[in-house]
Structure 1
Amino acid sequence: MSTPIPWPVPEPELPADVHPALAAVARAAHRAYGEARRRHTRAELGTETAMGADGTPTMLVDRLVEDAVAEAARAAGANLLSEEAGFLDNGSAVTLVVDPVDGSANAAAGVPLSCIAAVVSVDGTATEALTCWFDTGRSWHAVAGRPTPYRTSGRTRLDGAALNVLRPRPAGRDAWHRLTDRAARIRILSTTCLEGALVAEGSIDAFADAGGDVHRIMDLAAAMVTVPAAGGAVIDAFGRPLEIDPDLTRRWSGIIAATPRLAEEIAAAVTAG
């Protein structure tokens, strides 16, 4: 943990028609994360430096990448809603809802499972989403109302599913076991935004927070555009509406699934107790 992470962070592979502000923050995040890995050890990147606007601790890696994202959003003329800084008003009709480092603990430790996820929001409606995987440069892009190349697995039943989950929280252990006992394969990757992209492309059947209420809106916003366009669904386990809101005290137990039927079945299993 006392040495820097040796391998480089590539530039993101972006489609030509991505919103310029999304492209700007994605490139800024990749460069900032790459520089952070060159200059700091794993232990330093994981050091908690402050309390974020969402009420959770901010690691050094979060702060370094978010600072770069905030500057890129300002230069692009867009407002920013981010989990560490909160809402930054740059006088624009466009707000970028961004998780600068999804999978912060992975990113700090050098586990190659972290990403930036960003959404263009106009009057509270998400219109375009971009998720970029830091360690590969791979990206997923979707525009609301436009056909997408991604297709979910189409699975409709929890029994036998390939299910990704968050680790169980004390209040949700029974719900966690109700899910994992029925699934055929379980993974815990600790990066909701990247896992949402994997649902969209059919690599996994679903992702769920088993009633832990750990998700902020930027954890789910990109999936809210990308996954329905691919045939899936994004819901809260307890039926609460998913809304883009600058109030970062709001929490959800997100479910991202290959089909609406599978999403509802997972929600029923979470709330059965």
Structure 2
Amino acid sequence: MSSKITWPVPDPAAPPEAHPALVSAALSAARAYGEARAEHTRGELAESSRTGADGTATMRVDELVEGAIADTARRHRVNLLSEEVGFVDNASALTMVVDPVDGSNNAASGVPLSCFAGVMVEDGVPTEALTCWLDTGRCWHAIVGEDTAYRTSGRTELDGAALGLLRPHPEIGRSWWHLAERAERVRVLGTTCLEAALVAEGSFDAFVDPGNDAHRIVDLAAALVMVPAAGGVVRDVFDRPLEIDTDLTRRWSGVVAATPELAERIIETVRG
């Protein structure tokens, strides 16, 4: 793990209609990630120096990218809610909720499956989301109340579905296996925000945390805007309300599904 990742990181292809603060944050994230890969080895990117606001260890790659995004939030005079630094009050009615590098372990290792995900929130209500795949520059954008250019698969049945799942932790092994048995295809990519975008565009039928409570609101915020706009739903396995909250120690087991019917089948299987 001593070598550097030499492949360049492109600028994100964000749509021109996206909120300027989101576009700038995505661009800052991509460039900071590219600089981090050029200056640090894989081992250095994965090093942890402190505990973030979400209660988990902060990797160097997270810290470097989040710092660039925080500077962007100050320049645009919007508040920031991010997994490592927590809530930063810049005296605005607008808050940018971000996961700076979703898939941090992938990003530090050089696995090209990580993304920036950001949501604009006005007085507690999400209004717009932007997810950008860091290694390719590809972006997904959605505005509440407006149609998107992509749609979910429309699948309603779990049997034969293409699922994204978290890796099978021992405590959720039984529910993980019940889902896997009924699915036609299972993928474990290690990046919730990117997998949610793939559900929104119909590449996956659903993405599930089968009861491990691994998700913070920054993991699910973009999906809460993007997936319903594409015809899908986002729920918690245990039916806890998904709320934008500055307490990043709160956890959910997210279900991102192509249809309400499929989400219900998944939840029944996990809880049963």
TM-score (norm 1): 0.99
- Look up the SS of the partner of 1:181 in the other structure: helix
Work out whether residues 168 and 212 of structure 1, in 8 Å CA contact, stay in contact via their aligned partners in 2. no
Question: Where does residue 20 of structure 2 map in the other structure?
Answer: 20
User: How far apart in 2 are the matches of 1:30 and 1:174?
Assistant: 38
Query: In the aligned structure 2, how far is the partner of 1:48 from the partner of 1:268?
Result: 38
- CA–CA distance in 2 between the matches of 1:220 and 1:267? 17
State the Cα distance separating 1:264 from its structure 2 match: 1.1
Instruction: Give, in whole Å, the separation in 1 of the partners of 2:228 and 2:213.
Output: 22
Q: CA deviation at 1:49?
A: 1.4
- Letter matched to residue 119 of structure 1: V
Q: For the residues of structure 2 that align with 1:13 and 1:230, how far apart are their CA atoms?
A: 20
- Equivalents in 2 of 1:146, 1:194: separation in Å? 21
Are positions 1:197 and 2:197 aligned together?
Answer: yes
CA contact (8 A) 1:33 1:61 kept: yes
- Judge which range, 168-177 or 62-71, deviates more: 168-177
The aligned counterpart of 1:149 is: 149
Q: Deviations 1:206-244 (Å, cap 9, x if unpaired)?
A: 000010001000100001100111110000000001000
Partner deviation per Cα, 1:75-112 (whole Å, 9 max, x = no partner):
11010000000000000000000000000000000000
Q: Is the 8 A contact 1:53 1:85 kept in 2?
A: yes
CA distance in structure 2 between the partners assigned to 1:216 and 1:250 by the alignment: 6
Q: Which residue of 1 aligns with 2:214?
A: 214
* Structure 2: gaps (5+ residues): none
Look up the match of 1:70: 70
Percent identity over the alignment is 65
The aligned amino acid for 2:96 is L
Quote the residue 2:95 is aligned against.
95
AA at the equivalent of 1:3: S
Match of 2:226 in 1: 226
Matches of 1:269 and 1:86 in 2, distance apart? 34
Matched ranges for 1:148-167 at <5 A: 148-167=148-167
Query: Does the 8 A contact of 1:223 with 1:234 survive in 2?
Result: yes
Aligned-partner Cα distance in 1 for 2:32–2:54: 22
SS at 1:7's partner residue? coil
Segments of 4+ in structure 1 off by > 6 A? none
Q: Distance in 1 between matches of 2:74 and 2:170?
A: 40
Is the Cα contact below 8 Å between 1:12 and 1:132 reproduced in 2? yes
Q: How many residue pairs end up in the alignment? A: 272
AA partner of residue 54 (structure 1): D
CA distance in 1, matches of 2:231, 2:166: 23
Structure 1 residues 159-191: Cα deviation after superposition (integer angstroms, max 9, x where no partner): 000000001222211111111111000000000
Structure 1: stretches of 5+ with no match in the other structure: none
In the alignment, residue 246 of structure 1 is paired with which amino acid? T
Structure-1 separation of matches of 2:124 and 2:268: 28
Paired residue type of 1:269: T
- Taking the aligned partners of 1:127 and 1:60, their CA distance within structure 2 comes to 30
Q: Give the Cα separation in 1 of the matches to 2:46 and 2:181.
A: 33
TM-score normalised over the length of structure 2? 0.99
